[in-house]
Amino acid sequence: MTSPPLIEIYDIRSEKDVAIFSSKLPSDIISGLSESQGQRTLPSECLYDEIGLKIYNEVVSTWKEYYPYKAEMGIWKQWADDIAHSMSRVQAGGRAVIIEFGAGSLDKTSLFLSALAGTCTSRENTPPITYYALDLSRSELDRTLSDLQNNIGQDVSGKIALKGLWGTYDDAIRILTTNEGNFDKEIPIHILFLGGTIGNFTKGTHDSAFLRSIPLNSERGDTLLLGLDQAKDPEMIERAYNFESARPWIMNGLLAAGKALGKPGLFKDGHWERYAKFNKEMGRFEAGYVSKFDQTLDVPTFGPVLFSSGEVIVVSCSNKYTEPETERLFDDGHLAVVKSWLNEEYKYLLCLLKTKHT
């Protein structure tokens, strides 16, 4: 028996000698903590260090109330074939490059890739499609891609090559923009951005700016497949995010922030409580930490920062989009909808988008 081929993971980080995943992270942490009282934040990357991402990937499918996972899984189960057929590969003789931004556990991806393999009529020595999972942790990419290979390797063999990209969204955008990745200029590129992760960017500004920065060539047939969580009953949202078993994942973010600043004990055990609340005004769920009493953090290279009892640090937001907000997101992102699939029960949308000609 021959063993399955080793999966190549390319290191695309702009600075390869840094121990942490993004060289911007320490300065982002310091700038978030040095905001005025009540406005303080930590970057959401703190939730996805090696430990955090492993916890998230292992438990996300088991969180019963966590509808974004169930909603998207439902869409894939029902429409994976339609989605796969909607991604144009015609001009390039059936060839395509797929890059999944913030790929995570790859559970849902396996349904898509199996459907995509079904659109290939034969098996080739050089598979016509290459799939790249992009994420922050090399060890998690190794693990999740090996699981993917074990699950669907035979189905996709000769049709889709499975690969990894180790780096950030910015790194991926850089290699696409400069073509450091040496992608064949004729072959369409399809970006997957799933799980409602666009909701982690600031609504109305950073979300659309991020979408605009993804270099898509609609003449070549490039597309972006985007998972978008729509506005819904706040109770459903709070139930989905505010459950006990997510606590270790969220609380690890404090340790990750301390480690990124070279001071793992910066946030002392027992001094912070988990924060989880739907912010009605901003239409977003907020996760973070509440200071249990007045305390001072000695932030490396910055100095002392005073936190009052009850003060909140937000580490992650999850925007829920109304219809006008969705239209504005696409307009400002210079994107047009090719086709969309809605999970009505959970009000969750998967949209295939292309660059709008202005």
* Residues making contact with ligand SAM (CB under 6 A): 45, 48, 53, 102-105, 134-136, 168-169, 194-195, 197
Q: How far is the CB of 68 from ligand SAM (least distance, A)?
A: 8
Q: How far is the CB of 48 from ligand SAM (least distance, A)?
A: 3
Q: How far is the CB of 136 from ligand SAM (least distance, A)?
A: 5
Q: Which is nearer to ligand SAM, 201 or 272 (CB)?
A: 201
Tokens 């001009």 appear where? Answer: 91
Can you read off the two tokens belonging to residue 166?
């180790």
Which residues sit opposite 223 in a β-bridge? 190
Can you read off the two tokens belonging to residue 249?
């994942």
CA–CA gap between residue 264 and residue 51 (Å, rounded): 13
Q: Which is nearer to ligand SAM, 110 or 168 (CB)?
A: 168
CA–CA gap between residue 96 and residue 90 (Å, rounded): 9
Chain-centroid distance of CA 162 in Å reads: 18
Q: Which is nearer to ligand SAM, 161 or 350 (CB)?
A: 350
Q: Are 52 and 44 in contact (CB under 8 A)?
A: no
In this structure, the number of other CB atoms found within 10 A of the CB of residue 71 comes to 23
Q: Which is nearer to ligand SAM, 43 or 128 (CB)?
A: 43
Q: Which is nearer to ligand SAM, 102 or 283 (CB)?
A: 102
Q: Which is nearer to ligand SAM, 193 or 330 (CB)?
A: 193
Q: How far is the CB of 99 from ligand SAM (least distance, A)?
A: 11
Q: Are 350 and 340 in contact (CB under 8 A)?
A: yes
Q: How far is the CB of 303 from ligand SAM (least distance, A)?
A: 27
Can you read off the two tokens belonging to residue 356?
């709008």
Phi, psi of 31 (to 5 degrees): -70, -35
CA–CA gap between residue 226 and residue 182 (Å, rounded): 25
Q: How far is the CB of 145 from ligand SAM (least distance, A)?
A: 13
